[in-house]
Structure formats: structure tokens, C-alpha cells
Amino acid sequence: MTTSTSICCIGAGYVGGPTMAMIAKQCPDIPVRVVDLNQSRIDQWNSDNLPVYEPGLDEVVKEARGRNLFFSTDVQKCIQESSIIFIAVNTPTKSFGVGAGRAANLEFIEKCARTIAECSTGHKIVVEKSTLPVRTAEAVKRILHSSASGATFDVLSNPEFLAEGTAVEDLLKPDRVLIGGESSAAIETLAKVYERWIPRDKILTTNLWSSELSKLTANAFLAQRVSSINAISALCEATGADVDEVARAIGTDSRIGPKFLKASVGFGGSCFQKDILNLVYLCEHFGLKEVAQYWEQVVCMNDYQKRRFSARIVRTMFNTVSDKKIAILGFAFKKDTNDTRESAAIHVCRDLLDERARLSIYDPRVPESQIRNDLQLAFSDALGGLSDKHKQLIDKNVTVHKSLLEATRDSHAIAVLTEWDEFKSFDGKQVFDSMYRPAFLFDGRNVVNRQQLTEIGFEVHSIGRASEVLL
């Protein structure tokens, strides 16, 4: 490794922040600069209150920050000072124009490529860390090569496979690191950074297009497993089979394996839905209608699962939840993250508010401002407009609480929407005593101690298990 290696990462989000913190930790001699246009996000990265909650992340950042890890809004200067530039900006689903609702919005990627082209001199390696449609590198290359400064570039694809909630562990011991590119020298330079802590045989190299497509495919396969077991959960509820038992039985087959077979209220997060829809859009673009339809079903099944859950709550509670208080436990899309993007909780809360339920929400990591913002967005039109009626509905019918006990007090029902550990073993008796009867509990993650809570007197409804009252 040349001592002149220095890194800049554009985008200080859930990927850019943790990924660069890990590189900085493992390579103390390499300066790593993380830049973002969002001043308050950068301020948070420079404070004790990081914008991303991940177990173990505080320690990693504290070790490297100020030594060789820097957070800044000076995008141009940091690009100029670095030999490797990662692009880790967001690539949301387009909400307007051609491909709306499916294609990835590449506006931020293109802006980054233009900024890099404008302010670079000499030779730079540009690394796509964001998840991108196949052949995006072609467009990035064309923009970079139009640089008037005479700078030269190699473009690599190095998609990130970390999962939120376990990001530090995933970055420390990834199943593999994937680097796609045309220049073997550029691939080697990047591989040498990862080699500091990752065994060489886990660093896979491919061509650019395989690397870009592998990331979309990985997310499509993972989400497909969740939708597959969720589809079976509906059949279990109708037949008396238990989806957790079915998952255990099939997961022991080594050809299937046990991971990603947990039935739930539906997958969320910023990636699965976005990346599958992107895959669907690509297939349609290349005239592969049947392939597009095949993958789209994974998203359809997820939407169905979320709707099915809220419908079950209403049906079970005597077909009306109007003016009933429902405690919502968990708002993040999964445990151990403060991220709420595409969280199933948002959809379930919207459905229940539509039914005029009163919601008392508790999540250990998501702030009230984020919860209210997400609910307002859920009721907004395509241009982000929120009607006065919907705003009033949220203001009047939603309260956010600081503890499980506070949220569940005087409630008619509890809905568990995130699998936070504290929801697995709460004081059932104390909660039960403060609730109306029947005390309903809808477990959207199958995490509560069903038997114990049933003995206390709760009427527990789990995913993929017929309700005992119906058996």
C-alpha cells in the first residue's frame, strides 16, 4: 500500500458513516474524510450523539475520530485531498416522472460525479458504494471523463452488504467484500485497504456489471425469503399450522438454511423494496416482462402482509377500533436501529388511524419528531402536501411515550411492531392490570412469551398461528 492512499466518502448516512468509521479504525495511517451537504448530520457525527444508532458504533467512531477520521461539509476540498472517493449517497425510488414508483432516482449520484469531475486533478479512483442499477457506472464514467481539468479516473463498484442493527459486526467480519471494475490496478488498490482486516479469500472481484447486479440480486433474494415465509404464515393462520414450527422444520434442511425465515408483519427498511422495484424496472426496460412480474410479487406479498395485520386487529376487536387506545410497541423497521424508513409500523399506524384508533407509541430509539414526521408523510399526497384533516387526525390521535408501561396504560390492545429485546420480557401482570378487557396483544414479530401472557389473561394473536379463540 502506498502511504499516499487517502479516502473521501460522499454521503454520511447509514452506510457512509459506519463503513468509513470501520476503515478508519482498521487503517490508522489512512486519512478518511466523510462529507455531506447536510450540516446538522455532520454536526451530529462530530458530537457524542451520532445520527445513526448501531450497537458498538460509538466506540469505533470515538477511537478514530480526530485521529484519521474526519466529518466535514467541505465536499470539494476533501475530494481534492483524496485518492479514493467513495460515493455513498442515497438512491431512493423515483417519485416523479418516467419510472416513478420503480426506478432509482440517480440525481444525487450524478451530482456527485459532476462535483468530482469539476474539482479533481491527477488520478482518482471513484468507488460506487451506493446501490445502483446495472450499468450506472457507464454514466458515471462518461460524466467523469468530461472533466475539463484533465484528471483521470477509474470507476469501481463496491456495494455494501451490511445490515442495519448489526452494521459494526457485519463490517468487521463480512461474508464477503465485492469489488467490480475494469482496471486491475484500481481493484488491487481498494482490495489492499480491505485486506488490512478481511481475509483475501473473502474479497471477490468481478466485472463492473456483475458487481452492480449482485447487490440488487442479494436484496431481492433476502426479501423473497421473507415474503415466502410470510405467504405461508397466512396459510398457517387459516389451517392451524404454526409458522415458527414450519420455519424450524424447513430451516434445518441444509439446502434451505435457517436464516431469514422469521415470519412477521412485513419487511421494511430503506433497501429491500427500493432495490426490488429497481430490479423490476430494469427487467421491464430490457423487455423481460415475466421476470419483472416474478420479482414484483415479493413486494406485493409484503404489502399484503402489512394490510392483513392491521385488518386482523380491526376484525378481532369486534370490527371497530374507533376511539380505542392501541399501544404501538416499536416504530423502527427492525431492532437495534433508529431507522424508520419503510417501517411496517408506519403502514399499520396509518391503517389504524384511518379506522380512527387512538395510538400510543413507544420505541426505545426513535424520537417523537421522527414518528410524527413519518406519519405525516404517510398521509401526504405525491407532492408532499398534507391536508388539515389528516394533520388534525395525527395531532389528536397520536401520543408518543417514553416507556412501554406508559404507552400501554389504559389501552384496549397492544401491537408489537419491532422485535426490540425489551418487548420479549416485560412485566405482563403490571401491563395487564392497567388495560381494558379483553386485553388484546397482536404480536407482529412473534417475540412475546405467548404462553406466559396467555396465562396472565391476555388474548394473544401471533403471526402465522391461528388464534386460540378460533381453534
Output the smallest distance, CB 200 to ligand NAD, in A: 23
**Burial environment of residue 62 by CB neighbours within 10 A (0 to 12, 13 to 18, 19 or more):** middle
Output the smallest distance, CB 211 to ligand NAD, in A: 13
Q: Is 162 in the site for ligand NAD (CB under 6 A)?
A: yes
Q: Is 18 in the site for ligand NAD (CB under 6 A)?
A: no
Q: Which is nearer to ligand NAD, 108 or 432 (CB)?
A: 108
Angstrom distance (rounded) from CA 16 to CA 160: 10
**Segment near ligand NAD (CB under 6 A); pick from 36-44, 169-177, 249-257, 316-324:** 36-44
Q: Which is nearer to ligand NAD, 219 or 233 (CB)?
A: 219
3 state SS for the chain: CCCCCCEEEECCCCCHHHHHHHHHHHCCCCCEEEECCCHHHHHHHCCCCCCCCCCCHHHHHHHHECCCEEEECCHHHHHHCCCEEEECCCCCECCCCCCCCCCECCHHHHHHHHHHHHHCCCEEEEEECCCCCCCHHHHHHHHHHCCCCCCEEEEEECCCCCCCCCHHHHHHCCCCEEEEECCHHHHHHHHHHHCCCCCHHHEEEECHHHHHHHHHHHHHHHHHHHHHHHHHHHHHHHHCCEHHHHHHHHHCCCCCCCCCCCCCCCCCCCCHHHHHHHHHHHHHHCCCHHHHHHHHHHHHHHHHHHHHHHHHHHHHCCCCCCCCEEEEECCCCCCCCCCCCCCHHHHHHHHHHHCCCEEEEECCCCCHHHHHHHHHHHCCCCCCCCCHHHHHHHHHHEEECCCHHHHHCCCCEEEECCCCHHHCCCCHHHHHHCCCCCCEEEECCCCCCHHHHHHHCCEEEECCECCHHHC
Q: Which is nearer to ligand NAD, 113 or 247 (CB)?
A: 113
Residues near 335 by beta carbon (within 8 Å), at least 6 away in sequence:
165, 418, 419, 420, 421
Q: Which is nearer to ligand NAD, 160 or 443 (CB)?
A: 160
Question: Of these, 131, 147, 227, 278, which contacts ligand NAD (CB under 6 A)?
Answer: 131
**Segment near ligand NAD (CB under 6 A); pick from 30-38, 297-305, 359-367, 421-429:** 30-38
Question: Of these, 50, 127, 136, 160, which contacts ligand NAD (CB under 6 A)?
Answer: 160
Of the residues 271, 283, 300, 349, only one is catalytic, namely 271
Q: Which is nearer to ligand NAD, 51 or 428 (CB)?
A: 51
Q: Is 112 in the site for ligand NAD (CB under 6 A)?
A: yes
Q: Which is nearer to ligand NAD, 37 or 405 (CB)?
A: 37
Output the smallest distance, CB 382 to ligand NAD, in A: 20
**Segment near ligand NAD (CB under 6 A); pick from 117-125, 159-167, 177-185, 431-439:** 159-167
Angstrom distance (rounded) from CA 405 to CA 162: 33
Give the nearest residue (CB) to ligand NAD.
13
Output the smallest distance, CB 82 to ligand NAD, in A: 14
Q: Which is nearer to ligand NAD, 16 or 464 (CB)?
A: 16
Q: Which is nearer to ligand NAD, 164 or 459 (CB)?
A: 164
Instruction: Tell me if residue 271 is catalytic.
Output: yes
Site for ligand NAD in 59-98 (CB under 6 A): 75, 88-91
**Segment near ligand NAD (CB under 6 A); pick from 158-166, 197-205, 279-287, 392-400:** 158-166
By rule CB under 6 A, what count of residues binds ligand NAD? 27
Q: Is 371 in the site for ligand NAD (CB under 6 A)?
A: no
Question: Of these, 8, 9, 12, 223, which contacts ligand NAD (CB under 6 A)?
Answer: 12
Q: Is 16 in the site for ligand NAD (CB under 6 A)?
A: yes
Q: Is 266 in the site for ligand NAD (CB under 6 A)?
A: no
Q: Is 108 in the site for ligand NAD (CB under 6 A)?
A: yes
Q: Which residues contact ligand NAD by CB under 6 A?
A: 10-16, 35-38, 41, 75, 88-91, 108, 111-112, 130-131, 160, 162, 164, 270-271
Residues designated catalytic? 271
